[in-house]
Structure 1
């Protein structure tokens, strides 16, 4: 293929739209998996068939993949000249000319992801409780990203788009229900352990 093919292709607004929307949908799915695995990785239970470190590694790797796709999604939004989105709109929320509310929620999601990644890379510099509190903002980022995609997407009323949104919410709710359901068992086992008996 000649360089002219790619030049002409990127001048086609439809191609940029498909790439932007496509990366946004896949990004939502990856962020959903990352959040769900993050919730499940706090489970203390483990098994021979699915050790706890597998969930933790999957969570970390999917999160890194989501960050890479987030960068691509943001770059595509800026270079697409059909709407006026500037590079600073990627970082500064609710200041854009185009759909400031919906775009601003996407920017918030990006900021939360950046915060989570930076603190994750320097985890040893934070106290455990501080790091966890900051890391929990990734859930806010997921919510902001979900609402951003639903509000700004031109195909958000399509059946497939709504189905993906419902699926993502269902996955995260399921992970939270599983985690909450194990808390009672974990506390009971902790009380029954020698250390728990000594504290009493």
Structure 2
């Protein structure tokens, strides 16, 4: 039986909780965005209510993501600078995996800013940037798997599996409901829905689930030129 000793600082636990809640909310936001964007009309709730829920989930995602970032920077163990929270792959601690989280944050901030300027930039440009929210999800997922110290725990693995099932299931449901046309877009969505679980499973098997992952993850610091 695997046990987890409570040896971290309160800031470390706050960062982990904030990151986990942010990933849960981001997954729910992506699922709702995928499911509600098709041709099928919701039966028991109007599209306005769905849009409002989607917006509120998005805002909550950013709030908990900021909690995750701020507590991680303030935690003295990792010693991160504020710069690496917005500029990816510059940290001295696991720069690749932290960088993926920074990319996810930057993408979500771009969506948030353009949503506030929606009337000025136009709906077409806003929709183009809005697609970045979907791209942020796999970056956040791999960031959590690569950086988290509890990735090997069964509960954490089930959590990743639940996120994958939710998003991939929503994609396939959307594809099943889609009408004719936009074959290229549907093909890209289908390939992506298949690729992300395969890549994550392969990464977990070859990386975090293997002994000595923490040391090997730190080697990317040298490869990226981010530290000693």
Q: Give yes or no for TM over 0.5.
A: yes
Which segment drifts farther, 101-110 or 169-178?
Answer: 169-178
- State the partner residue of 1:15: 10
1:125 equivalenced with 2:114 (yes/no):
no
**Superposition deviation, residue 23 in structure 1:** 1.1
Q: Secondary structure at the match of 1:50?
A: coil
Contact kept in structure 2, 1:20 and 1:77, CA below 8 Å: yes
Larger radius of gyration: 1
159-168 vs 38-47, which moves further: 38-47
* Partner Cα separation in structure 2 for residue 163 and residue 48 of structure 1: 31
Q: What is the RMSD of the two structures over their aligned residues, measured on CA atoms?
A: 1.8
Match of 1:62 in 2: 57
Task: Please identify runs of 4+ aligned residues in structure 1 that moved more than 4 A.
Answer: none
**Residue ranges of structure 2 left out of the alignment (5+ in a row):** 1-6, 183-228
Corresponding residue of 2:136: 141
Contact 2:86-2:105 at 8 Å conserved across structures: yes
TM-score, scaled relative to structure 2? 0.72
Structure 1: where are the runs of 5+ without partners?
Answer: 1-11, 188-200
**Whose helix fraction is larger, Structure 1's or Structure 2's?**
1
C-alpha displacement of 1:13: 4.0
Instruction: Map 1:1-200; keep pairs closer than 5 Å.
Output: 13-184=8-179
Q: Which deviates the most, 12-21 or 112-121? A: 12-21
- 8 Å CA contact 1:99, 1:152 repeated in 2: yes
Is the CA contact 2:101–2:140 (under 8 Å) kept in the aligned structure 1? yes
The residue matched to 1:155 in structure 2 has which SS?
A: coil
In structure 2, distance between residues paired with 1:184 and 1:43: 9
